[in-house]
Structure 1
Amino acid sequence: MTVFSFALAAVMLAAACIPADRVRGWRESVNPSAPELPDSAFVVARIVFVVMAGLVVYATINVMRLSN
């Protein structure tokens, strides 16, 4: 469980590092008629991913500490 949690946190941090242009290009290829997303949406998504990854790491460390 702890390895899975740390891997999940790593995936969330990796998702926060994807450039907005790459996401826009992918969205354009999947759904060409989708409305354009503002840059603020990507900033908020990055903040959410980093905070969630931090919470997962914090919770995992607490679970590891309590299991001893």
Structure 2
Amino acid sequence: MKYMIRIIQVSTLLGGAEFMLMLLFGDLTESVKPLVLGTVLVSLIIFGVLDMIGRKLESKRNEVSNVLS
């Protein structure tokens, strides 16, 4: 599960980076720029939420390991 979360995080972050590069260096119209910026922000939010979920799962796994030991 941990690796699946990491894979999704990396793909989301790379997608956000791609849109950020489009925003910075692309020839975008003014009407599209807020949409691209929103996409970058959403990818960062998803990355953060998945990171919190991953940490929570890891702490629960550590608690179970400590109880069983």
TM-score range, shorter chain: 0.5 to 0.7
Identity %: 4
Select the structure that is richer in helix.
2
Specify every segment of 5 or more residues in structure 2 that has no aligned partner in the other structure, as ranges: 20-34
Deviation at 1:51, TM superposition (A): 1.1
Deviation at 1:16, TM superposition (A): 0.4
Aligned: 1:54 with 2:55: yes
Residue 27 of structure 1 is matched in structure 2 by none
Q: Which runs of 4+ in 1 moved over 6 A?
A: none
Question: Which of 14, 25, 43 is the aligned partner of 2:7?
Answer: 14
- TM-score normalised by structure 1 residue count: 0.60
Deviation at 1:14, TM superposition (A): 1.5
SS where residue 17 of structure 1 aligns? helix
CA RMSD between the two structures: 2.1
Q: Name which structure has the greater RCO, CA cutoff 8 Å, separation 6+.
A: 1
Counterpart CA distance in 2 for 1:51 and 1:13 is 11
Residue 32 of structure 1 is matched in structure 2 by none
Specify every segment of 5 or more residues in structure 1 that has no aligned partner in the other structure, as ranges: 1-7, 25-34
